[in-house]
Amino acid sequence: MGVVSLAEALRMAQEQGLDLIQVTEKTSPPVCRLGDYGKYLYWLEKKRKSVKKQKGGEVKGIRLSFAISRHDMEIRARQAEKFLKEGNKIFLEMVLRGREKSLANVSKEKISQFLEILNGFIPVKAEGELKRGPRGFTMIISRN
């Protein structure tokens, strides 16, 4: 349409039964368009949700036990690989019970073995260090 005065734009919108929607105010004069304001808000919300899905995804959990075998670690690594390819992050957790809590070095070794197996399938990075909590160890992993 080109550059139109505010009064003219409001008149045009009223004649057509539409709303005058300001798209951006950063330019001079501001960019506006004629349309249904409710539909515009719906479109903005839909766009925001799709960007959110692409950006981070969810946090999926993988739980390892103290006495986990190598084969079971490989299965969990395959599952973690699938989660990471979907764009999700992984909350890795090793729950320790009773006397297992006193063998922290063995637990850390098991977690490092899991990470080595997972790195064989897909490159990963830790988002922070391995944290020790009252129930065991936790770590968040994402795709590299």
pLDDT band per the 50, 70, 90 thresholds, residue 141 = very high
Question: For 26-85, what is each residue's pLDDT tens digit?
Answer: 888 889 999 999 999 999 999 888 876 665 568 999 999 999 999 999 999 999 999 999
105: which DSSP letter? H
In order of start, what are the domains of the chain with their CATH numbers? 6-53 (3.10.20.80), 56-143 (3.30.110.10)
Tell me what pLDDT residue 27 has: 87
Tell me what pLDDT residue 56 has: 59
In the predicted model, is pLDDT for residue 142 greater than 70?
Answer: yes
Determine contact, residues 141/126, Cβ cutoff 8 Å: yes
Question: For 106-132, what is each residue's pLDDT tens digit?
Answer: 999 999 999 999 999 999 999 889 999
Tell me what pLDDT residue 144 has: 82
Determine contact, residues 124/83, Cβ cutoff 8 Å: no
Task: Collect all residues with Cβ–Cβ distance below 8 Å to 10 and sequence separation of at least 6.
Answer: 20
State how far the alpha carbon of 5 is from the alpha carbons of 13, 18, 23, 34, 144, in Å: 12, 17, 16, 14, 51
